[in-house]
Structure formats: C-alpha cells, structure tokens
Chain A
C-alpha cells in the first residue's frame, strides 16, 4: 500500500521555466514532509521540508506547498536550471520516513 504517491514518473521542462512536481499522500498522521533530490550514482540529498502546521516553505528557487485537506504537496522550482535534472523523491514522516517512487525531472537547455 503506497502511502506516498508520485504519479508522474517523469517530467521535462524548458530551462528558465517553472518545474512543478506533485505528491499525494493517504496517511493523515503524517506531520512532516520533505523533498529529496537524487543524482545518478549518489544517495538522496535533502532539499526542502515543510511541517504540517504550515502551507508554504520557501528556500531560494525552491518552494514547497502543502494542502492538507487535499493531502497534496508540490515542489516548485523557479527558474529551472540544467543542474536541476535529477530524480526528486517526496517523503513524509509519522514515526518513520516513507518515500514516494520519485519523479525524474529533465531540464531542457
């Protein structure tokens, strides 16, 4: 039973435009959400997080939005750069970290 879902396995975005990665969850006990970025042959790297008491968190080009009523969160990257090409994992915590299956983002120069 996949409690954290990333329904888009891949996404291609033109350099300079906005990338929007989406994530849905089913467990209402999740109280903290994270995005990890993974390059080939490397482990996941923490990118940005948000607590369930907030609906937005921003860090430079990266913004995470949380809609608790819809059990949905999204990661916005503006402007997208070629170095952003990677696999992005959404993750959520109740007692442990539960990952989604990832979205492969490709930035087209």
Chain B
C-alpha cells in the first residue's frame, strides 16, 4: 500500500518561500503523476501542479509562476517550492500520487494522498 507523507515548516513569513517535501513509501517514484494540492475553507480544493515522466511539470496558472515541483529519486521524494507567499497561501497542503503516465494526458486523478500539512503564512 503506497503511503505519502508531507513535511516542512508549518509557519512561513510573508514574501518568503514555502518549501514542502513528500516522502513516498512502499513504492518507488516512477512513471506516475505526482501532485501537490491545497485546501482552504474559502477556496476549496486547489490543484497546484504535477510532475511526471522524468520531470515534466504542469502548474496552475493561478499561482503566477510561483510554484516549482521537483523529484529526488535517490530519496524517493518530491517537493514543492512556492515563492513570495502571502496570507492567501495559508492552507492545508496535500501531496498525492495519481494514475500512470501513458504518454497522452497531462493530468490525472489522485489515488494516494498524504495526510496533509497545515501551512500558515504570517509574520
């Protein structure tokens, strides 16, 4: 059973960079979609972006090029960096693993989820 776990600071100052890591257990990072999403009471579930197929990425344009997702195969992890954060970036952040990359599509459902990590942006 694949397990994912988010880690990182729970408090980030405005204008700084939010950095989160997702550790994957019971599976090796491979030819699947790996996603970051976030959830707030006001905006609901928001997809941040994904990484797949040896480093291809897609991001939500709503984040204005502030997000970067990368993988570290040696550690079986993938990461999110979100720059220039504001209070609006306060949310529960989830990492997920989706379906397999089959060469045609750029997004997928999320089958496995981490428990989520609350990140608060505040000075």
Are both chains from one complex?
no
Residues of A within 8 A of B (CB): none
